[in-house]
Structures are given as structure tokens and as C-alpha cells.
Structure 1
Amino acid sequence: MPVNNKAKVCNKDLKERRKKKQTFSTKQQWAKKIARVEPGAKVVENQPLCESLRLYPPIPATHRGVEKEDVLPNGTTVKPGMMILISMYAMGRLEWEWGKYCLEYKLERWIDENGKLNPIPLTKFFTFLAGPRNCIGRDMAFTQMNW
């Protein structure tokens, strides 16, 4: 399916969901709605979100401090007191990571051969960081964006 048709499918789905917008009268109903939304399970909804967040992360860069001397995988030695700048904006545009068309908005990069959301590791899709200091609000962010 061409990209423009995928966008039409996404827009149509969002319009239908907005027409059927639910209201919740109790906290229990709200909790049930939140509990059943799983990021990564909805291709039509999460595909444009992931691609948009890859190209335009809400926080384009962050930094980390070094507490003890260590050697990075590329051989660089980091010493206590140094600051490491992490640019999610730049990481979403790396040709060696995202391919020849890394600067283009391509929804199909998020779909595998079976039509499911492609499981891209968090170390590649770095918008919400990875590891022990990743964004604890990732799932909530996807839930709110899918609302």
C-alpha cells in the first residue's frame, strides 16, 4: 500500500474514533480504558506517532553526568565530572541507523512483512531514551496521543 493511502487510512480511523469519543463516568471505567491500551499493539495509530517522534522528538537533547571512569563501546574513555550530550534529534536522522531515506517521513519503516508494528529496539528509537534512566512516562504518552 503506498504511503499516501496509509495516511488516508490513519486519518479515516482517527475521524471515526473522534465521532465515537467515549466519556467516562467513573474512575473504574477510566482505569479499564487505560489498562487495555498497549503501545506497539496498534499499527494504524502508533505508526505515524513513532515516525513523527523519530524526526521531531519533544526533547531534542539531554545530558548525563559521569560518576566514575568508564570506557564506551567505541573505545572512548569518560572520566568523572564529564557531561555526555545525547541528541535524540540527531539520532533520528542517522543514515547508518535509519537507511538512505532517513530524512524522509516514511510510515512503512514501522511495519514488518506481516503488517504488524515493526519491533524497533529502544536503543534505536531513542525518543524516550533507554536503560535504567529511560522515560517512565512513555506508555502514558502513547496512551494520551492515541486518545
Structure 2
Amino acid sequence: MTNNKPADPVENGQANAKSSLTGNGKNPYRRSALTKLFLISAVGVGLSLISSAKLAATNLADKKNQDSIKPQILAGKVTKSLEQFSFTTEQGVQYHIADPSHILDDLAKKRGVVDGFYTLNRVRVKALISKVGNYGHMGYYERQVTIVGIADS
């Protein structure tokens, strides 16, 4: 006597559901979705590692170079126009200018400049140099100098 019992559709449905949950099914969308999820996770982890390494390197560089918190004496040319307020050293290095006390505007008036936009040659200033970043109009400059005074000639 053989027990030929017909297959129960409910049991087969549950079995198929279990196999699709465990990944044994032949659902092509599941494999594609898991692959995409893995790639997105890997890219996120990679970007996170790069960002943290860059931050650590910047912090170490800033701690090593503590001179940036002391005013530096810079000599060069000041240019103030509609979208630009810059300092160019004699070596050609350009900085964006932050002049909260309007020291350079006062110097321009002493030199006889009437206009609000000007170019001053042979200027020696005491300034704090910023960390590397994006400064000035549309982030054009890599560093910024904050003017704290005029250096003695």
C-alpha cells in the first residue's frame, strides 16, 4: 500500500515563500537588489573612510603648524573690486582679504584714494593666515588673511 497523497497547494506556497526569503529562490530581482545595496554600502563606507582620513590629516597639520595663530608680516599688493578683495604677495601667492577693522580702507584714504575700489602697491600688513578652504567670491581662494594691522616699513 502506497501513500500517494496529492500535494497541498498551501504547503507548497509556504515552502516557496521560505525559499525566497532565504535566497534559495530564483527571483532575479532579489539578487539585483542585494547587489545594488552592497555597492551602495561599500561606496558609503569608502567615502566615510576618505573623509575621516582627510579630517585627521588636516587636524595633524594644523597642530604641527601653530604659527597660523600668530600674525604674519606679508608684503605685496592689495586689490579691491566689485567681486574681489585680494592680497598678492611678492612671491605671487594670492589670499582673500578679511578686513573687519577697515585698516586697508583707511590706508587707501591716507594714500589719496577716493574711490571705493582700488589697488595698493607695496603694502606691508600684519595678518592671520587661515586654514585651507574656499574663500572669497565663489570660493576662488584657497586661503584668507585677516588683517590685524599695518607693519612698520
Task: Give the structure-1-normalised TM-score.
Answer: 0.25
The structure richer in strand per residue is: 2
